[in-house]
Structure 1
Amino acid sequence: MLVVILLLVLSCVVMSQSIIKTLPGYSGDLPFKLETGYVGVGELDSVQLFYYFIESEGSPKEDPLLLWLTGGPGCSSFTGLVYEIGPLNFNTEDFDGNFPTFILNPYSWTQIASIIFLDAPVGTGFSYANNWESYIVDDTISVAQTYEFLRKWLMNHPNFMSNALYVGGDSYSGIVVPIIVQEIYKGNEVGHKPFIRLKGYMIGNPVTNQHDDENSRVEYGHRMGLLSDELYETTKRNCHGEYVNVDPNNAQCLTDLENVTECFEKLNPPQILEPLCSLISPNSTIKWDRRLLEENPTDILLTPSQYPKLWCRNYNYVLSYIWANDDSVQRALHVREGTKKEWVRCNKSMSYTEDVFSSIDYHRNLTNTYYRALIYSGDHDMLVPYLNTHAWIKSLNLSIGDYWKPWFVDGQVAGYSMKYTHKGYHLTFATVKGGGHTAPEYRPKECFAMAYRWFAYYSL
């Protein structure tokens, strides 16, 4: 009976999928199984969400399935695939301003999991809508559409229905991931088909409460030696610990914050140890995105022959613009004819409303389940400092399983971790030493070890 129901549902599902054996920029056949496609969601399937699916290079039948969402909102999951946890990296060392090439990532998480990299919400990456009204999205709509995507994708990939599922992401995904997890839990409880074997979720440097994340930057700056004791103490006293919504009549606080800004303004917020560089675009028609950087430098428009040596991390993002906007690439990925557009890594022009101001209550709800959670923070990120992430975790009032202690890779300290429990719920908080805002991008080896151990139920 279940098979009949699933077949009836599938007959109404609008989707497409293609197996990709070769990609421009990679010599020879791909040494992993890549599938791309669209799944229709929303009313009359008016929204078409694009995805990249890479089957586990280990044991696809036994390894977990991970749904990965990149932040923004509006940043393509291709960012996660090629700069963070996927099997391909751009060859930045040999890039000469012409067509980018790929090298294999020895620390790809696809060695231990099958991963769906989803371009969500609509307007992200190659996802599109059939009418302009469907481009108007908020957190609540995005969550519902992602949940619908997952159900339809699983029904069209029945071989993965029995795999353990995790939902993951970083940055702004910290808002939507716990809500998606709650929706899956509720759907399973009321009998939505298919039953999803959700085991937990993982998020890195997650936005949780944007006010508190931003407010914690002053204390973080002091702890990292960016502010003097005197400036920190007087700012804390005069501003009463509130650095975001400041009383415009509080002259002492405003003066202190001007001094704080002077100490911070030439830093690179996603990774304070790395240089703050001017942002570039590959040609005069493609403007650089700043959503993840939260900066506003002047664009430098360069021709390929003028490219500097890629010594600055954000120059590396230019390669994704060149690659993804190439016609041969879009044909290879089976991007639908008629929907092609200028691909941007992060879409700043989306009609997106952030209607969930804090995801902490969703995390609190999930503590009453039997799920597992991994919350990790690159400890040199000043956009979402680890301090506030750890603070809201502590506010959940969970029992402590393991106290703060180092975890190691190759005998060296890779970060620090704590474990928390509540009945059947388990949460691991981990810092990644030297990591930035998207920790696997900065510390790929350490983050691979972290994910490998956590998926396998080992201690970090």
Structure 2
Amino acid sequence: MAMPRIIFLVVLLFCMLCCFINNNIEAAPQGSLIKYLPGFNGSFPSKHYAGYVTIDDGDNHPSKNLYYYFVVSERNQSTDPVVLWLNGGPGCSSFDGFVYEHGPFNFDAAKQEGGLPTLHLNPYSWSKVSSIIYLDSPAGVGFSYSDNTSLYKTGDIQTAYDTHLFLLKWFEQFPEFTGNEFYIAGESYAGVYVPTLASVVDKGIRTGVKPVIKFKGYMVGNGVCDPRFDSDDALVPFAHGMGLISDHMYKATEVACKRNYHNYTNSDECDSTLSKIYSALDGLNQYDILEHCYHSRAGVQGNKSNELPESFKQLGMSSDKPLPVRKRMFGRAWPFRAPVKGGLIPLWPQLMESGGVQCIDDTVATVWLNNKEVRKAIHANPESGEWGLCTDNLSYNNDAGSMLSYHKNLTASGYRILIYSGDHDMCIPFTGTQAWTESLGYQIIDEWRSWISNDQIAGYIQGYANDFTFLTIKGAGHTVPEYKPRESLDFYSRWLKGQKI
């Protein structure tokens, strides 16, 4: 009789183990599971979840509803890292990264279904090697909202605090991912979002906040860091090196501004020479100097009249509105003539009204994400209002200061950091990023060299002590994965694995 009893116990233990595994895998809130997407026909390569995490400060203040779209890794959800992606602005939706850069789908605007652009799978999605949370942050951005719009007055410090609260609650809802390595990534103004959030996450880990986040490091692409480096101190050498200004203009500006374009003393003469440089650069696509920059209907698909192309009419545009210049939007960033210097920051819609933003378009994403069926499928609440790529709802304060101290403190705490730059971005030029990464004073342990993707030189890399790396992507603009998707997936997957790039 002993043997059947042993067999019974073994079977019972096996069933309990299976039950545990199933519960662990399916612990994610099933109400947030996305079952279909209008415009896409086919099976998802992995599970997708979307919905809201509600946060408050615990003092009976109105809550904030932060929207996320979560793509589970297509490879191995139990061992692949989880990455939080943040777009910049400030005030721009992380659907930007989802739709135009490294999300699981690409748009095919030339093909439409039911008045919507169709989608096909992106062969270079970052979800090939990781799970990714696309977060609309702060409240008031994208699909994130609050019933009390006074909470839209915020800044760097509050945004980092709120995003940390989001992460803690998100991991409570998705406990099966608490054992995965966690990374933070972003671009442009997320050069502020990422290190400030990383600092708050690190503090939470050290003080024993639960659930424990297995935070390992972060990456920033073409990111804001410090006004000394993000300003004309980067732009002028970049423009000269790229052959956009003459030697005479460059040398005259060096003399007039004493090579200190950020904080010069001879203002009249320096202003005059800088104005000549701005004039020479005017009309370029500042987010990728190799890309076209259309300014009127005549520039769209060779159209010489005021008549809209049929494909744009089908997207709901009228002839009295400006045309999109291409299917994808090239560039979302802080304009190169106005580096972040603290205080209230003008938002993108305000800059567009003043003519400060050039060569951008988000028509396809706007049409798709404001479709009722799409919003229903991705669980976007009607209370969030109309989706826009970048909002003017916020009153946003740049109150965190320079990011240099954040990077130093976080490397000292043992976190891995990758700073990457598309080398044809004139908005946050690689010259400034290269300068500030070098200014940290870390020993060079992997001297400047090329790195390879698809048997071709894809850019250059310099590795420093403390697991701190600077990398360029050859021929890429401000939003690197949009311009160089294959190369981006290569360096992303290698870095996450800890492999040599």
Distance 2:413 2:262 in 1: 34
Select which of 234, 258, 266 maps to 2:252.
Answer: 234
Letter of the aligned partner of 2:239 in structure 1? G
Post-superposition offset of 1:32: 2.4
CA contact (8 A) 1:278 1:297 kept: no
CA spacing shift, 1:370–1:293, aligned 2, 3 Å:
closer
CA spacing shift, 1:16–1:210, aligned 2, 3 Å:
farther
Scaled by the length of structure 2, the TM-score of the pair is 0.80
Select which of 162, 166, 188 maps to 1:149.
Answer: 166
Post-superposition offset of 1:350: 1.7
Select which of 268, 277, 284 maps to 1:251.
Answer: 268
Bigger mean CA offset, 448-457 vs 36-45: 36-45
Distance 2:366 2:441 in 1: 44
CA spacing shift, 1:407–1:173, aligned 2, 3 Å:
same
Equivalent in the alignment of 1:39: 53
Post-superposition offset of 1:334: 1.4
Equivalent in the alignment of 1:447: 488
Select which of 54, 67, 78 maps to 2:95.
Answer: 78
CA contact (8 A) 1:21 1:29 kept: no
CA spacing shift, 1:210–1:96, aligned 2, 3 Å:
farther
Bigger mean CA offset, 289-298 vs 134-143: 289-298
Alignment of 1:375 with 2:392, yes or no, is no
SS in 1 for 2:467: strand
Alignment of 1:50 with 2:50, yes or no, is no
* CA deviations over 1:300-321 (Å, ceiling 9, x no partner): 9xxxxxxxxxxx9844x21001
CA contact (8 A) 1:17 1:38 kept: no
Equivalent in the alignment of 1:433: 474
CA spacing shift, 1:392–1:183, aligned 2, 3 Å:
same
* CA deviations over 1:294-339 (Å, ceiling 9, x no partner): 3977899xxxxxxxxxxx9844x210010011111111111124x0
Distance 1:97 1:218 in 2: 48
Q: Pairwise CA RMSD of aligned residues?
A: 2.7
Select which of 137, 142, 147 maps to 1:120.
Answer: 137
Equivalent in the alignment of 1:309: none
Distance 1:267 1:252 in 2: 25
Post-superposition offset of 1:362: 0.3
5+ residue gaps in structure 2? 1-28, 298-311, 337-350
Post-superposition offset of 1:279: 7.7
Alignment of 1:92 with 2:133, yes or no, is no
5+ residue gaps in structure 1? 1-14, 301-311
Distance 1:165 1:113 in 2: 10
Map 1:356-435 to 2 at 5 A.
356-421=400-465, 425-435=466-476
SS in 2 for 1:152: helix
Select which of 188, 201, 204 maps to 1:171.
Answer: 188
CA contact (8 A) 1:84 1:441 kept: yes
Post-superposition offset of 1:176: 1.8
CA spacing shift, 1:298–1:127, aligned 2, 3 Å:
closer
Map 1:14-33 to 2 at 5 A.
18-33=32-47
Select which of 198, 219, 228 maps to 1:181.
Answer: 198
SS in 1 for 2:487: helix
Say which one has the larger Rg. Answer: 2
CA spacing shift, 1:208–1:16, aligned 2, 3 Å:
farther
* CA deviations over 1:329-369 (Å, ceiling 9, x no partner): 111111124x0412110113422111123111100111211
Scaled by the length of structure 1, the TM-score of the pair is 0.87
SS in 2 for 1:91: strand
Q: Percent identity?
A: 40
Letter of the aligned partner of 1:27 in structure 2? N
CA contact (8 A) 1:278 1:298 kept: no
Distance 2:227 2:296 in 1: 25
Distance 1:137 1:89 in 2: 33
Letter of the aligned partner of 2:261 in structure 1? Y
Alignment of 1:276 with 2:321, yes or no, is no
CA contact (8 A) 2:258 2:264 kept: no
CA spacing shift, 1:372–1:27, aligned 2, 3 Å:
same
Aligned residues: 429
Equivalent in the alignment of 2:230: 213
CA contact (8 A) 1:16 1:39 kept: no
